[in-house]
Structures are given as C-alpha cells and as structure tokens.
Amino acid sequence: MASQGIQMPTSTEVPDIPYGLSVFRTLPYAFILPELIFGSWVWILVAATRVLYAVSQGWVMYVAVSSFFFSLLLLMVYVFGFHRNNAGTWRLVDVIYHGITAIFYLSAAVLQASATIYCDSFISGGNIVFAACTPIFYHLNAASTFFAFLTTLLYVLHSFQSYVH
C-alpha cells in the first residue's frame, strides 16, 4: 500500500544554467576560466619553443588554440545569457563539448610529453644534437606538458560535473 504523503514527481526539470557573473560562482561553469588560463599557457609555452616534431606539436597547438576559442565562445554565451531559452540543449552541448575536448587535450598532452621525453634524451646523453633541445626549451616543453595534463583534468571535471548536475 502506497503512502499518501509522498508525491512522485510528474516531470523532470533541468536546472537552469546561470548567466551573468554567477557563471563564475557556479560549478561546473566556474571551470571555464581556469580552462582558458591553463590552456593559454599550453599555447604560449609551445609557441615559445623550437618545434621538434611539427605534426605532434602542431596538433598540440591546434587543440590549445581551438579549445581556447570555443571555450571563450561558450563562456560568452553563458555570460550574456544567450542560452536561456534552451537550457536543456545547452547543457547537452556543454557535456559533449567538454567531453570531446578532454579527449583531444589528453591526446595533445601525451604528444607533448613525448616531445619532452625525446628532447630530454638528447640533453641527458651529454651532447645536444638539435638546437631545439637546449635545457631552456626542455623546461618550456615540460611546463607545457604539465599545463596540458592539468587542462585535461579540468575539462574532464567540467564534463563529468555537467553530466551529473
């Protein structure tokens, strides 16, 4: 026998996506600003080095620049409230975009780590074969690898938090 005091929900409501400055105070949307900052550090640090592998570090630059651009665009949509008529659709866009970008950033971080390890093998051998493998460029590549993995983590957290929210 069912209890008389318990009401079953008749419809599922999608929570509203914040707009304006409240975007920066609400999870998971507060992750967008650190994603932009750390992603731009990946972009800046790779651009400051001499490229060892044009294809792999080109992919890192492509992912960093395009993710920065699209995340900034998504942030502007949320800040200016363009999403307010279709919150459910924008929530799905948010989950899919951040999930795909997390996968892209993970691949870019692994490729950047590979370029860093390759550079380190020349430095630790005692002779620097390429001018691109000086200790300063090694440290720039290592810092870029760190920020790439950190940005990957932020995109994963954002996608997961958007999915469960």
Per domain, the residue ranges of the chain are 25-164
Per-residue model confidence as pLDDT tens digits over 135-160: 888 888 899 999 999 999 999 998 88
Question: Mind listing the pLDDT tens digit for each residue in 2-58?
Answer: 556 565 445 555 456 666 666 667 777 778 888 999 999 999 999 888 777 778 888
What's the confidence (pLDDT) of residue 133?
Answer: 75
pLDDT for 64-102, tens place per residue?
999 999 999 988 888 887 666 766 777 888 889 999 999
The SS3 assignment for 86 reads coil
Q: What are the strands, taking DSSP E only, across the chain?
A: none
Residue 105 pLDDT exceeds 90: yes
Confidence at residue 18, expressed as pLDDT on a 0 to 100 scale: 66
26 Cβ contact list (under 8 Å, min separation 6): 18
